[in-house]
Amino acid sequence: MKKVLFLTLMVSSFLFSKAQVQFNKAALGYGTTTDNFTYDGKQVGNYSLGWYYDSSNIGAPTYFLSSHGGIKLFTSREPRLTITNTGNVGIGTINPLARFQVDGTYQNRNAAFTYACDPEEEVFFQVKTNMYTSGAPLFLFKDTRADQLRSQKLLQVESALSGTIFSTLANGKIGIGTSSPYEFVSIYKDQAEGTSLSLRNDNTGNSPNAYAGLAFYNGLNSSYIRLNSKNATKDAHCMELITFPSNQANPADIIFKASKNEVMRVKANGTVGIGTTNTNGYKLAVNGTIGAREIVVSTETWADFVFAKNYRLMPLSEVESFITENNHLPDVPSEQEVKENGINVAEMNAKLLQKVEELTLYMIQQNKEKEAMMKRINELEKAIEAIK
């Protein structure tokens, strides 16, 4: 037994001291010239194990394992790693359908995973974990070839239940719920319930900047659409449409359009124009008619001063002279003034009420004069009867 073991060790030492060990047609042999192939100027057996110096590693020999039909590594009588004769590598599967396939979970905590479709190109797909550097992305999906079709899909996520979930094109367009985004970001929904986009901020503190919303930027002007989250310092459950230009010399307006035509504008000074872009300083300027069931106008003055004891009621003779000369009532704007400046509804109503109250005073005065006249007539009639 000792002689057999010694002889085995001697043969093993001799064989592994050479350039390679060949397994040819289930026979252990060395120096066999059949069933070989040439690689890097060296003869390698289709089924062999060995080492030699090659052009990729000059300082130390290269270890190689050759198998014409593929390689399987076993543990506990089960194949754990498979390399097919086409070069596909599988872990947990003996039939890998891709260059690298893992059936099961994969974890890589302190390293980076990178895949490039062409060694001469830049990173095509990369995932980093616990390897943070300033400005370095955690997840990178990159296509650097300028000659690719712009409609090419770089990334697409699908499910059997809902179809396309997420997609990106080489031209930078992103689709959610669609594989053919037309805009830079396209969201498509084909469901009877729910919304297409939901934004939420669960901040429960008192921060005045706790928003859930969208922000749009364009050149020097920044436009924000914000839906406030509930907090102590801001209005709860309200919608804000805000423009905030970085160039204060050229503030931004909020413009509403229908069929590409402007219908309303909220100017940076807080005035609103409907059908017009020039509000002339009015809080609300409307170029057109307004229909309403009820309008309430607030005013600080009213015409009850007409009934004050010290109010001078213009004699009718003076009113007649004013009308003859000016063709309108005193204290009432002329037709030309109304055409040029319009009218203040509250002020005009007060003016009209003033004239109504003045007319009332005129009527009261005339009624008193009439009653005095009738009394005098009655007295005269009684005196005439007495003379008869």
Query: pLDDT of 213-242, one tens digit each?
Result: 666 666 555 556 555 554 445 555 566 676
Question: Is residue 68 within 8 Å of residue 84, measured between CB atoms?
Answer: no
- 90-104 b/e with 16+ CB inside 10 Å = b? bbbbeebeeeeeeee
Q: What is the pLDDT of residue 311?
A: 93
pLDDT above 50: residue 80? yes
Mean pLDDT of the chain: 76
Q: Higher confidence at residue 366 or residue 5?
A: 366
Residue (of 315, 296, 304) closest to 356 by Cα position: 304
**Closest alpha carbon to 20 in 32, 34, 7:** 32
Q: What is the pTM of this model?
A: 0.48
Residue 183 in contact with residue 174, Cβ under 8 Å? no
Q: Dig out the tokens for 136 from the structure.
A: 């370095």
Q: State residue 105's pLDDT score.
A: 73
Instruction: Convert the pLDDT of each residue in 137-153 to its tens digit.
Output: 555 666 655 555 444 66
Judged against a pLDDT cut of 80, whether residue 198 lies above it is answered with no
- The better pLDDT of the pair 15, 286 is held by 286
Residue 74 makes CB contacts below 8 A (sequence gap 6+) with: 80
Is pLDDT above 90 for 274? yes
Contact 22, 48 (CB under 8 A): yes
d(CA 131, CA 112): 7
Domain ranges of the chain: 1-68, 211-251, 253-291, 303-387
Beta bridge partners of 228: 211
Separation between Cα atoms, residue 268 and residue 252, nearest integer Å: 6
pLDDT at 28 over 70: no
Q: Quick one: how far is CA 303 from the chain centroid?
A: 55
DSSP letters along 71-127, please?
EEEEETTEEEEEEETTS-EEES-SS--SSEEESS----SSSEEEE-SSTTS--SEEE
pLDDT per residue over 88-129, tens digit each? Answer: 999 999 999 988 888 887 766 655 555 555 545 444 555 555
Lowest mean pLDDT among 37-46, 47-56, 293-302: 47-56
Cβ contact 53:64 at 8 Å? no
Instruction: Report CA dihedral (231, 236, 241, 244) to the nearest 10 degrees.
Output: -30
